Amino acid sequence: MSDSERKKVTLPVLYEKMAQGTPLTMVTCYDYPMAYLVEQAGIDIVLVGDSLGMTILGYDSTLPVTMDDMVRHAQAVRRGTPNAWLVGDMPFMSYQPSDETAVRNAGRFMAEAGCDAIKLEGGAEVLSRVRAITAAGIPVMGHLGLTPQSAASLGGFRLQGKTAAQAKKIVDDARALEEAGCVAILLELVPDRVCRLVTERARIPIISLGSGPDAHGQLLIFHDMFGLYPKFTPKMAKKYGDAGKVIQDGLERYVQEVREGVFPEPERYFGMKDQEYEELVRLLKEEDER
Ligand code: KIV
């Protein structure tokens, strides 16, 4: 699908799809070549996730990621996917300190990277941030359930909302985020029936990451989908291809061909005219004899 065929995905387009019961598609994306492919596939929502700290930068968590990291990657993704609804993920400590910090950093995603919205993690504790960013004219996506920036206090990367009391808090937080102005909410790793209850009560799109089929849309992490994150693949991630293996096999063949003198083949390099070459040799010889 070319750029001219695809219409820009806007918030009204997402709401229209939700109203019609058309499932929304969402993936994470971190750079230009990936974004280009995502655009061709017609994905609705693209998240430049702070998961890039792990998938791209090789950290053990998302915590060291900075706003500068995020803006740089969001700019590259925007160049690759001009039409997806682009969400910039607020990294750790870019919104926790104060409403003012949150608005300033959210504004960077919009002004410097051309994002359509930002995402931040948390429920009741971030309502004031959501209100402040929304008041600045910036659409906010909420994020409940497993929120990786608080993995330490959640007991690691594990299912959230397993008990009735924990699940009730997620349902309440979702309603509070919507009332504070969130335009969509991501539910990560909560039981399917909790996701269904949140979705049934919501007037905004609910997106599921590992939270079952009953949301308005689904999210997957690009590197999990294509075997590009070597450390582990979570249960919720379905592999749609093994690009990691394709690349690994290619690299091993390249090493072998260079060592055996198979690469480069004659059609991959350039020669020069005999007359010019002979003149060059003569010039060098003349210089050497001086
Ligand atoms: O950073 C990210 O990719 C995310 C997803 C895990 C939802 O926030």
- The residue contributing the CA closest to ligand 1 atom 6 is 51
| Catalytic one of 5, 39, 188, 287 | 188
Alpha carbons 257 and 276: distance in angstroms, whole number: 31
Q: What's the pTM value of the predicted model, to 2 decimals?
A: 0.94
Residues 6+ apart with CB under 8 A from 50: 62, 65, 70, 89, 90, 91, 92, 148, 149
Residue 287 and residue 290: Cα distance in Å, rounded?
5
pLDDT, residue 189, reads: 96
For the residues of 201-223, what is the DSSP string, one character each?
H-SS-EEEESS-S-SSEEEE-HH
Report the pLDDT value the prediction gives residue 164, as an integer from 0 to 100.
Answer: 98
Percent of the chain residues topping a pLDDT of 70:
99
* Domain at 3-241, CATH homologous superfamily: Phosphoenolpyruvate-binding domains (3.20.20.60)
Percentage above 90 pLDDT, the chain: 92
Is the pLDDT score of 2 beyond 80?
no
CA-closest residue to ligand 1 atom 5: 49
Of the candidates 181, 114, 123, 111, the one whose C-alpha atom is nearest the C-alpha of residue 150 is 123
Closest CA to 215 of 200, 237, 230, 233: 200
Residues 137-155 have pLDDT tens digits of 999 999 999 999 988 888 7
Indicate whether residue 69 lines ligand 1 (CB < 6 A). Answer: no
pLDDT in tens, 186-210: 999 999 999 999 999 999 999 999 9
What 8-state DSSP symbol labels residue 137? T
Hey, where are the domains in the chain? 3-241, 246-289
Q: Which atom of ligand 1 is nearest to the CA of 146?
A: 6
pLDDT in tens, 22-58: 999 999 999 999 999 999 999 999 999 999 999 999 9
118, β-bridge pairs: 88, 140
Residue of 31, 47, 126, 232 with the most ligand 1 atoms within 8 Å of its CB, for mutation: 47
Listing DSSP states for 76-129 in one string gives HHHHH-SSSEEEEEPPTTSSSS-HHHHHHHHHHHHHHH--SEEE--BSGGGHHH
| pLDDT, the chain, mean | 96
Res 153: pLDDT: 81
Amino acid at 126: V
